[in-house]
Structure 1
Amino acid sequence: MTPASALIDRWRDHLAIERRRSAHTVRAYTTTAQRLCAFVMAHRGEAVTAAHIAALTPGDLRAYLAARRGDGLSNASAARELSAVRGFLRFVGGEDAVVPLVKGPRVSKGVPRPVTPDEAVALADDLAESATDAWTGARDWAVLMLLYGAGLRIGEALSLTGSVMPLGDSLRVTGKRGKTRIVPLLATVREGIEAYVALCPYDLVGNAPLFRGQRGGPLSPAIIRRAVQAARTRLGLCDRATPHALRHSFATHLLAGGADLRSLQELLGHASLTSTQVYTAVDAAHLLDVYRSAHPRAE
């Protein structure tokens, strides 16, 4: 086994066992590490070691990203790739890791659009990998996936208590004006919450807050907002990539996938259908943008 192969195997185990990341994330991050090592080996002409990876410069990372963009990688996918690379470099360097500062590709501004699925996952992954320890990383990942994967407001996610455990296929949420609703839980979201609960050093039972701060108190929305702001800067995402934008993206992507407005109204907890209808305009703007960019006869 080569030094690079052994390093990648340790990275895979770290993600799956210590970080308790989903199988999809483990597979994607492992593949990125393999591509990075292959790239470094091709440029150095020798077997890659941990020392080679730890010594990578901003120029090296820019060259790698340029090569990946040459393979047809989109801006959003390149942002997620960079997040995975940063996590790998932090793992290799350990406590002494110095990760090169490289801005990710910026998504062009224009017609307002929802955060893409790749951008949403890239944000969650970057928060998890940038956390000071495994349990807060798992916590931040779970919170962002509740916003994007279940359409919760950040206040709704942080008001959940330990009484929701054990999780099922759905979640009862209390929204504005005390109105409750049932939202389905995707397997990825449920697994993320369960991974956080397993790692959290505090007792998450009864009516105690499910999501805790570093000292055990209720997690503040400001902490998540600041973390997302830092993550989107590292990833080179535009200012629209906010926690609340993830809820908007949940709605817009469901609508684009064929969901009807009444069902969407129930999932979002809107008191009035008028509030939900705004997403028809957002989706129409997105489709028009795609049409203008791709249709051969578009003006």
Structure 2
Amino acid sequence: MSAALRHLLVVLNASTVPRFLWSEPDTVRHEVCRFTEYLKEVCGLAECTRYQRGRIIRDFLGHYFGRKDIELTRISNRDILRFVTRYLDGCRAGTAHVAGVTLRSYLRFRAMQYGDCIQELIAAVPGVAGWRLAALPETFSDTEIGRLLSSFDRNTACGLRDYAMIRCLADLGLRAAEVVQIQLDHINWREGTLRIQRTKSRREYVIPLPEPTGQAIADYIRLTRKVTTTSRAVFVRLYAPADVPIATGCVHRAVHAAYVRFGWTDRSGTHLLRHSVARRLLESGSSLKEIADVLHHQSIDTTAIYTKIDENSLKIVALPWPGSTS
């Protein structure tokens, strides 16, 4: 039933409203849509980021206003503090930080677009302590990557497509959003290169296309992708409407299903594969600048976290434990 309704919304050109807003009151739905449009046009945030922040603001508005008109003058500093502290129960520090940043961004949006005098509310949003380089990136070993890739049934259409997508993640270190945006015109088969557009930094990159990755994409296009498909996107739906490109959720589900097949219930997300690419580059002797170029990091500070998994280099610079022999 839900799939049929989604197709109907496409026909009615109503698909611009995210699914998490379908059952919300008109006031909340229109306000969140305006905010996410602001995040897109003014802030230049990626779709997945807009989706996450839209859900947070939906919860905030639904809790305090419901079906009533949105008037932030009725919100007190205590309400802001109460929402943030209660909303974040059970969350990690990174998620808590995002919720605070999102609420602060929304209040600034209201001040800019509507002229609301809410400087006190903006200042009342509590900050969440978090240290960006505190965590240790989790990675897969080469053996685990091999087992993961071999788990796909390439005798089926779904298996071929999912295998090609996972190879893009595991071989090239791409983000899920970058995988679904690959177009047929982006692949130069003669030169063996792939052009990546609309990345998180909104830049364009041309990267080498390894033979195993190119072979996986070619097999999917040749054996699975329907000839009648008019979309120029490489990865499209397998069932009607087949001309519609897949969303990032399809990539995440394919990766999660592969984890489950091995019983890796404590692991999730596509960034584990991206971290694994960085680990392989470090072990091969690549510099941080080279890794930053491969992962399309704008700042090398973002890449610095991977120095914590370079055990060979850390052993060279580590000081002896007090009282032990050097």
TM-score of Structure 1 vs Structure 2, range by shorter chain: 0.5 to 0.7
- 2:162 corresponds in structure 1 to 140
Q: After superposing the two structures, state which structure 1 stretch, 217-226 or 136-145, moved more.
A: 217-226
Of 163, 170, 188, 2:212 maps to: 188
Of 214, 230, 241, 2:257 maps to: 230
Partner secondary structure for residue 176 of structure 1: coil
- 1:124, CA displacement in angstroms? 2.8
Task: Tell me if 1:211 matches 2:235.
Answer: yes
Does the CA-based 8 Å contact 2:289-2:300 persist in structure 1?
Answer: yes
Q: Which runs of 5+ in 1 are unaligned?
A: 1-110, 289-296
Identical counterparts, % of pairs = 28
TM-score, length-normalised on structure 1?
0.53
Task: Tell me if 1:120 matches 2:142.
Answer: no
Does the CA-based 8 Å contact 1:113-1:286 persist in structure 2?
Answer: no
Cα distance in structure 1, aligned partners of 2:179 and 2:187: 14
Task: Tell me if 1:177 matches 2:204.
Answer: no
- 1:206, CA displacement in angstroms? 8.4
Q: After superposing the two structures, state which structure 1 stretch, 164-173 or 189-198, moved more.
A: 164-173
Does the CA-based 8 Å contact 1:134-1:199 persist in structure 2?
Answer: no
Cα distance in structure 1, aligned partners of 2:171 and 2:275: 11
**Could you report, residue by residue, the CA deviation over 1:21-67 in whole angstroms, capped at 9, with x for unpaired residues?**
xxxxxxxxxxxxxxxxxxxxxxxxxxxxxxxxxxxxxxxxxxxxxxx
Greater fraction of residues in helix: 1
TM-score, length-normalised on structure 2?
0.49
Q: After superposing the two structures, state which structure 1 stretch, 233-242 or 222-231, moved more.
A: 233-242
Cα distance in structure 1, aligned partners of 2:313 and 2:209: 26
Q: Which runs of 5+ in 2 are unaligned?
A: 1-135, 316-323
284 and 187 in structure 1: CA distance in 2 versus 1, 3 angstrom threshold: same
Give me the CA root mean square deviation.
3.1
Cα distance in structure 2, aligned partners of 1:171 and 1:143: 14
* Higher RCO, 1 vs 2 (CA within 8 Å, ≥6 residues apart): 1
116 and 166 in structure 1: CA distance in 2 versus 1, 3 angstrom threshold: same
Task: Tell me if 1:152 matches 2:174.
Answer: yes
- 1:189, CA displacement in angstroms? 0.7
Cα distance in structure 1, aligned partners of 2:160 and 2:313: 32
179 and 240 in structure 1: CA distance in 2 versus 1, 3 angstrom threshold: same
- 2:303 corresponds in structure 1 to 276
Does the CA-based 8 Å contact 1:163-1:205 persist in structure 2?
Answer: no
Q: After superposing the two structures, state which structure 1 stretch, 248-257 or 115-124, moved more.
A: 115-124
Partner secondary structure for residue 149 of structure 2: helix
Larger radius of gyration: 2
The letter for the 1-side match of 2:193 is S
Cα distance in structure 2, aligned partners of 1:171 and 1:207: 18
Structure 1's consecutive aligned runs of 4 or more residues displaced over 3 angstroms after TM superposition are 203-207, 284-288
Task: Tell me if 1:243 matches 2:270.
Answer: yes
